[in-house]
């Protein structure tokens, strides 16, 4: 009897092994592996890096061939979803659009997949959890983040006798004045810190990069716009305008016009025309590639003097990735999505290639992340609980356009009374959001 | 006998009538067949989108889910709450009132000069027409480069002459004049139309006017202008419509002048209207709502309003033109 059982088990094992081998060999022999398509926004060098990450997945999963298409933006994603001819996985740089994707069901709800695989989104920091859902509906996952921090030129600091990077806005202002050099005709030769809204990503005119540094809240408890109610916004705008006025609005305009494109090798900070700036972590890779000899350092950005406890926080945003409605290979798409977003290895691998911040808590401490003192700053800022992103709304970042319209008028001195202007802005944002939510009609 | 003739003639007449009817139907069918490409194109690319735009303007439509009927809510927001509509309308009006007259005047002036040229006619025609062949995106990029306040050759030359050049595309006061310069540079098409009309003016009218002692200005006033008045009307109408649809140059100039063109793929960055909303024209606002904010219902309301305004303005111009446009051979 015992011998019979052993024989039966042995036979079963042999059959199972044979079946497995047959399946593997069939897959390896190319018997109809499903091709899944991934759409990403990256191009050129970054796209090549992403393809490397995917190639590793591809080699380990003979049941699928992954095809990567780069240079995709949200217009193309929307058009594909509307036509019904969709890729299997889509990603977007515009996390602000997650409201539209989740609310409409254009990107499928990932909750069933997460539940089935017992995956917990708490592996991502709260900020990344926030910009990948809308009203609790999770239709996206974070795939590397952009984190804003402070860059300063060490040589210029030394020459000006500045020992450490500024930690508050008043310190930043004082250092900016020390580091600024003017030409004989009064025009700006070197700008200590350029606060002009619109000058590079750190001065996004919608104030997004500054808001977390002042702890400025966009909405009140009732969900209404609170820019006039939270004094942090007034402090932010007054600080920014005072510094602009110190330089001279027209001087800065002219300086900015002459500055090279922010993604060129002649970036004003990289060539020593600007001594300090707020920028994303990607700049580390750009400097490494374009000006490896630049003596610079990174730190968390200075914060509002009234909220020194915020030091260490910063603005966070990132690429979102999901599965579009009408996908053909849902399970394979999910398997790839899970691999890219939850697994520390591809996150660290891709982070090393493009120097964006990996998005799980585990990957932040991964031994695979290439050590780099400049980059490490951004990993710390990302993990800081006070780091924030912009609100996710049904109107995407439309409210940002209204903030921007007001802020650029304010810095030009055309906005009149600040508090009254912010009150009006609040009303405009509330009306806009109401309109975006079906005009308020239920 | 008469009765017989009538009864014999009746089937004959009916037969002829049927034959005529068949021939007419064949002709109609042929006309329809020949016109069908246009009819299909008109229905598919104009009729259907027009009807859909009107319908969508009464809905909340985010491009991704089904439209939801919301009545007049989009129009209410458009007329009473959207803070960007006012500036966009004012910017567009600026184009109609300043840019269009300058375009027409400049095209007419150049055409007049080229028509009078004795030598090198072909060369001048080519030189003035050539800019019209440049793609709008490339032309705008070139202008933003030329007019860069700090590094552009125009301000460098002005600097050598002791003039502190303006900030051009970087200044809210100068951005629209800069776009106007760009549009004046590219008046080749209008110039060719004017040139054809001027060259087509009957010579005997000029000879009669000259015999009556009319000088060059009087000949221009009483012969050239009345003769080419239908062409002026045409130019004004198409230029006004083009101004109401002004988009490409404003979009490109704002993106490049703001120094963030390389981030165009990142739609979080919103440079439209740069600087200070001075290039936020009505079609740019429409695009922003429709394709940046997924608010196609509202964008449709904006487009319906644009259609109504464009139609009304065109009708007004044409009605007003009866006083100053003279058609050759027209009977009053």
CATH topology of domain A31-146+316-383: D-Maltodextrin-Binding Protein; domain 2 (3.40.190)
Q: Hey, where are the domains in chain A?
A: 31-146+316-383, 148-315+393-440
Q: How confident is the model at residue B314 (pLDDT cuts 50, 70, 90)?
A: very high
Residues of chain A numbered 221-280 and touching chain B (CB < 8 Å): 250, 253-259, 261-264
Judged against a pLDDT cut of 50, whether residue A27 lies above it is answered with: no
Tell me the residues of chain B between 85 and 124 that have a Cβ less than 8 Å away from chain A.
none
| pLDDT attached to residue B14 | 85
Task: Determine, for residues B268 and A440 on separate chains, whether the beta-carbon distance falls below 8 Å.
Answer: no
A78 interfaces chain B, CB cutoff of 8 Å: yes
Query: Of all residues in chain A, what percent carry a pLDDT higher than 70?
Result: 92
pLDDT surpasses 60 at B308: yes
Partner A, chain B 305-324, Cβ-Cβ below 8 Å: none
Q: Is the pLDDT of residue B48 over 90?
A: yes
List the 283-342 stretch of A: residues with Cβ below 8 A of B.
317
A170 close contact with B: CB closer than 8 A: no
The reported pLDDT for the residue numbered A16 is 47
CATH of domain A148-315+393-440: 3.40.190.10
Q: Which residue in A319, A317, A365, A255 sits closest to B148, CA to CA?
A: A255
Lowest model confidence (mean pLDDT) among A253-262, A320-329, B301-310? A253-262
According to DSSP, the residues that pair with A315 across neighbouring strands are A388
Query: How far is it between the farthest Cα atoms of chain B?
Result: 109
Instruction: Give the angle subtended at the CA of A378 by the CAs of A372 and A383, to the nearest 5°.
Output: 125
Residue percentage of chain A with pLDDT more than 90: 80
Asked if residue A12 has pLDDT above 70, the reply is no
The domains spanning A31-146+316-383 and A148-315+393-440 adopt the same CATH topology: yes
> Which residue from B240, B224, B205 is spatially nearest to B95, judged by alpha carbons?
B240
Q: What is the pLDDT of residues A69-83, one digit of tens each?
A: 999 999 899 999 999
Return the closest-CA partner of residue B258 out of A113, A86, A199, A403.
A199
Higher pLDDT, A166 or A21: A166
pLDDT at A392: 92
Q: What is the pLDDT of residue B332?
A: 47
What number is the average pLDDT over the span B218-240?
94
Please give the average per-residue pLDDT across A96-115, as a whole number: 94
Q: How much is the pLDDT for B121?
A: 86
Q: Is the pLDDT of residue A4 over 60?
A: no
What is the predicted pLDDT for the residue at B4? 47
pLDDT band (50, 70, 90) for residue B12 = confident
Partner residue opposite A431 with nearest CB, options B77, B170, B258: B77
According to the model, what pLDDT value does residue B258 have?
A: 82
**H or E segment to which residue B60 belongs:** strand B59-60
> Which of A401, A403, A414, A430 to mutate to test binding with chain B, by most B CBs within 10 Å of its CB?
A401
Alpha-carbon distance of A275 to A268, in angstroms, equals 9
A28-81 residue pLDDT tens: 444 567 899 999 999 888 899 999 999 999 999 998 999 999 999 998 999 999
What percent of chain B has a predicted confidence (pLDDT) above 70? Answer: 92
Looking at every residue in chain A, the average pLDDT score rounds to 90
pLDDT > 50? residue B145: yes
Chain B residues lying within 8 Å of A201, measured CB to CB? 260, 263, 269
The pLDDT of residue A345: 96
ipTM of the complex: 0.80
> What does the pLDDT average to over B208-221?
92
Cβ under 8 Å to A: B residues 144-173: 148-151, 167, 170-172
- pLDDT of A13 > 70? The answer is no
Q: Say what the pLDDT of residue A26 is.
A: 40
Distance from the Cα of A44 to chain B's closest Cα (Å) equals 13
Q: Which residues of B touch A264 (CB under 8 A)?
A: 262
Res B9 pLDDT > 80: no
Q: Is the Cβ pair B267, A71 closer than 8 Å?
A: no
SS3 B71: coil
Q: Which of A105, A200, A258 shows the shortest C-beta gap to B150?
A: A258
The band of B11, judged by pLDDT with boundaries at 50, 70 and 90, is: low
B77/A contact by beta carbon, under 8 A: yes
Of A78, A204, A412, the CB nearest to B276: A412
Mean pLDDT, residues B142-162: 91
């Amino acid at each position: 009897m015992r011998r019979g059982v052993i024989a039966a088990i042995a036979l079963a094992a042999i059959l199972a092994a044979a079946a497995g081998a047959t399946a593997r060999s069939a897959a390896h022999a190319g018997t109809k592996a499903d091709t899944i398509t991934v759409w990403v926004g990256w191009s050129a060098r970054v796209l090549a890096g992403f393809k490397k990450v995917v190639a590793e997945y591809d080699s380990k999963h003979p049941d699928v061939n992954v095809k990567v298409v780069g240079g995709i933006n949200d217009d193309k994603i929307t058009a594909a979803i509307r036509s019904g001819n969709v890729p299997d996985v889509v990603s977007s740089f515009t996390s602000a659009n997650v409201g539209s994707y989740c609310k409409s069901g254009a990107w499928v709800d990932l909750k069933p997949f997460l539940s089935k695989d017992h995956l917990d989104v708490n592996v991502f920091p709260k900020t990344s959890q926030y910009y990948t859902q809308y009203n609790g509906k999770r239709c996206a996952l974070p795939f590397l983040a952009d984190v804003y921090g402070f860059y300063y030129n060490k040589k210029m600091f030394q020459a000006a006798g500045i020992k450490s990077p500024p930690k508050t806005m008043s310190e930043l202002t004082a250092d900016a004045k020390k580091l600024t050099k003017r030409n004989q005709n009064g025009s700006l030769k070197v700008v200590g810190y350029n606060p002009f809204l619109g000058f590079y990503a750190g001065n996004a005119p919608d104030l997004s990069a500054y808001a977390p540094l002042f702890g400025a809240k966009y909405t009140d408890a009732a969900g209404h716009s609170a820019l006039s109610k939270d004094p942090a916004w007034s402090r932010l705008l007054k600080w920014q305008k005072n510094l602009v006025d110190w330089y001279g609005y027209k001087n800065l305009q002219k300086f900015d016009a002459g500055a090279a494109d922010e993604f060129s090798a002649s970036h004003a900070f990289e060539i020593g025309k600007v001594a300090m700036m707020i920028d994303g972590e990607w700049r580390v890779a750009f400097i490494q590639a374009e000006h490896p000899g630049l003596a610079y350092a990174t730190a968390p950005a200075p914060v509002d003097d009234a909220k020194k406890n915020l030091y260490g926080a910063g603005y966070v945003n990132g690429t979102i990735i999901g599965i579009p409605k009408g996908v053909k290979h849902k399970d394979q798409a999910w398997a790839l999505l899970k691999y890219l977003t939850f697994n520390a290895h591809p996150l660290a691998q891709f982070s090393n290639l493009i120097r964006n911040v990996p998005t799980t808590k585990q990957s932040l401490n991964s031994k695979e992340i290439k050590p780099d003192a400049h980059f490490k700053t951004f990993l710390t800022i990302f993990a800081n609980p006070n780091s924030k992103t912009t609100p996710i709304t049904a109107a995407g970042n439309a409210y940002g356009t209204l903030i921007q319209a007001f802020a650029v008028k304010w810095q030009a001195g055309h906005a009149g009374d600040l508090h009254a202007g912010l009150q009006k802005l609040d009303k405009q944002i509330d009306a806009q959001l109401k309109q975006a939510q079906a005009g308020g009609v239920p | 006998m008469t009765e017989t003739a009538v009864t014999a003639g009746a089937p004959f007449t009916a037969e002829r009538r049927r034959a005529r009817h068949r021939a007419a139907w064949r002709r109609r069918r042929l006309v329809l067949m020949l016109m069908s490409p246009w009819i299909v194109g008109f229905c598919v690319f104009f009729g259907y989108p027009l009807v859909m735009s009107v319908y969508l303007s009464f809905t909340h439509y985010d491009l991704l889910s089904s439209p939801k009927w919301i009545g007049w809510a989009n129009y209410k927001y458009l007329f009473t709450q959207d803070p960007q509509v006012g500036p966009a309308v004012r910017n567009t009006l600026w184009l109609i009132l300043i840019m269009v007259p300058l375009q027409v005047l400049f095209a007419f002036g150049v055409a007049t000069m080229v028509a009078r040229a004795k030598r090198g006619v072909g060369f001048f025609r080519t030189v003035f027409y050539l800019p019209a062949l440049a793609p709008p995106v490339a032309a705008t990029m070139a202008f933003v480069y030329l007019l860069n306040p700090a590094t552009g050759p125009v301000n460098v030359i002005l600097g050598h002459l002791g003039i502190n050049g303006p900030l051009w595309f970087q200044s809210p006061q100068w951005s629209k004049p800069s776009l106007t310069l760009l549009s004046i540079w590219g008046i080749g098409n209008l110039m060719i139309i004017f040139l054809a009309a001027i060259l087509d003016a009957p010579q005997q009218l000029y000879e009669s006017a000259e015999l009556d002692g009319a000088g060059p200005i009087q000949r221009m006033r009483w012969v050239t202008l009345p003769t080419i008045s239908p062409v002026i009307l045409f130019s004004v109408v198409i230029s006004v419509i083009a101004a109401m649809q002004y988009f490409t140059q404003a979009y490109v100039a704002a993106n490049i002048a703001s120094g963030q063109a390389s981030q165009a793929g990142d739609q979080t960055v919103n440079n439209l209207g740069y600087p200070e909303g001075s290039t936020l024209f009505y079609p740019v606002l429409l695009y922003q709502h429709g394709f940046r904010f997924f608010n196609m219902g509202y964008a449709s309301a904006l487009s319906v309003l644009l259609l109504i305004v464009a139609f009304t303005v065109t009708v007004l111009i044409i009605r007003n033109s009866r006083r100053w446009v003279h058609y050759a051979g027209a009977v009053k």
